[in-house]
């Protein structure tokens, strides 16, 4: 029964991970009413699951990998709730909640316990995973393009060149908003795509999923992407430095695609 409660917690953590994005990135307070209750409920079911797991194993502390991952995820989730209770900021949850989701995947979906029995359901998850990540890549490319055009327009204005082939470029503020807004659109898509892929791969491959090179690079790509948004939002970064950051993220994306050729996880057959 503890596996069932943990899977309920996984679902709630996933819901909270997605809801926290608009709450933090767009300052939509309504989404906090979903993210925070979902996190609290997830912690409740997670605690019940961990307690039943330890009781069933007849020991009072975690002794194997699954129990340790479950406890670590619970502690991280509780830490986020404590930070929110003290400082009333949900920004930490944007990073903590997806990590908690990934940590409890292994204990919740042990390799060999199949969950996607229907081919149509599994194919749907694969399509969702690919579509969301492609949308994130497109948003990143548009953001990089807008940043490059920002540099071009800035250079034209400094030279006071009112004529020429680049008179059609919009104002700097418009280009900056395009670059920033597309990042904000792409980040939820990337997060949701990685969560969908993690759930599907965990069910098919098991804990070895976390050792796959493409998966590790994907997590690095997500971390770099979120770091760039954080830097842009808090440091007011513009111009050349934004282009450098966007180019760095795009390089990681290309590396992830190249690593796919050597990935064990992304070679499991579709039904």
Kindly report the pTM of this predicted structure.
0.60
Co-location of 19 and 133 in the same domain: no
Give yes or no: residues 82 and 179 share one domain. no
98 and 125 housed in the same domain: no
Say what the pLDDT of residue 270 is: 43
Which residues of the chain are under the pLDDT cut of 50?
111-117, 120, 164-166, 268-271
> How many domains does the structure of the chain reveal?
2
The predicted structure's pLDDT at residue 173 = 77
224 and 160, same structural domain?
yes
Q: Which of 75, 108, 141 is the last residue of a domain?
A: 108
Q: Cβ(125)–Cβ(213) under 8 Å? A: no
Q: What pLDDT is stored for residue 88 in this prediction? A: 83
**Do 18 and 88 share a domain, yes or no?**
yes
pLDDT at 41: 95
Q: Is residue 113 part of a domain?
A: no
Instruction: Kindly tell me the burial class for residue 267, based on how many C-beta atoms sit within 10 Å of its own C-beta (0-12, 13-18, 19 or more).
Output: exposed
Question: Domain residues for 260?
Answer: 118-271
In 3D, which of 117, 42, 30, 51 has the Cα closest to residue 77? 42
pLDDT of residue 231: 74
d(CA 64, CA 44): 22
Residue 37 domain flag: yes
Q: What is the DSSP letter of 170?
A: P
Please identify, among 74, 108, 142, the residue that sits at the C-terminal boundary of a domain: 108
Q: Which of 59, 77, 108 is the last residue of a domain?
A: 108
Q: Looking at residue 110, what is its pLDDT?
A: 60
For residues 81 and 154, state if they share a domain. Answer: no
Closest CA to 100 of 2, 198, 200, 218: 198
Q: Are residues 261 and 142 in the same domain?
A: yes
Residue 167 lies in a domain: yes
Question: What local confidence, expressed as pLDDT, does residue 202 receive?
Answer: 64
Is the domain of 12 the same as that of 145? no
Whether 142 and 73 map to the same domain: the answer is: no
- Give the tens place of pLDDT for each residue, 99-132: 888 888 877 776 444 444 455 455 667 778 778 8
Cβ within 8 Å of residue 98, ≥6 positions away = 17, 191, 194, 195, 222
Whether 143 maps to a domain, the answer reads yes
End-to-end CA distance of the chain: 29
* pLDDT at site 9: 93
Residues 9, 11, 12, 13: is their CA dihedral positive or negative? positive
Q: Mark whether 36 and 144 lie in a shared domain.
A: no
pLDDT of residue 111: 45
């Amino acid at each position: 029964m503890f596996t069932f409660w943990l899977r309920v917690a996984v679902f709630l953590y996933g819901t909270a991970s997605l809801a926290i994005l608009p709450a933090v990135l767009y300052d939509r307070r309504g989404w906090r009413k979903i993210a925070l209750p979902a996190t609290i409920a997830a912690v409740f079911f997670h605690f019940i699951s961990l307690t039943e797991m330890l009781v069933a194993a007849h020991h009072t502390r975690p002794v194997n990998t699954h129990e340790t991952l479950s406890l670590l995820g619970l502690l991280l989730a509780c830490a986020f709730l404590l930070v929110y209770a003290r400082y009333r900021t949900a920004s930490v949850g944007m990073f903590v909640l997806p990590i908690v989701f990934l940590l409890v995947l292994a204990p919740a979906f042990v390799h060999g316990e199949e969950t996607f029995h229907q081919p149509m359901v599994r194919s749907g998850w694969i399509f969702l995973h690919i579509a969301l990540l492609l949308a994130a890549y497109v948003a990143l490319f548009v953001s990089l393009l807008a940043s490059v055009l920002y540099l071009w327009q800035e250079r034209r204005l400094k030279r006071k060149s009112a004529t020429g082939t680049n008179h059609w470029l919009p104002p700097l503020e418009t280009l900056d908003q395009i670059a920033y807004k597309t990042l904000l659109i792409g980040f939820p898509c990337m997060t949701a795509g990685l969560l969908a892929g993690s759930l599907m791969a965990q069910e098919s491959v098991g804990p070895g999923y976390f050792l796959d090179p493409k998966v590790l690079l994907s997590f690095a790509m997500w971390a770099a992407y979120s770091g760039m948004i954080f830097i842009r939002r808090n440091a007011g970064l513009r111009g050349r430095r934004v282009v450098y950051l966007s180019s760095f993220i795009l390089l990681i994306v290309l590396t992830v695609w190249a690593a796919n050729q050597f990935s064990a996880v992304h070679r499991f057959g579709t039904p």
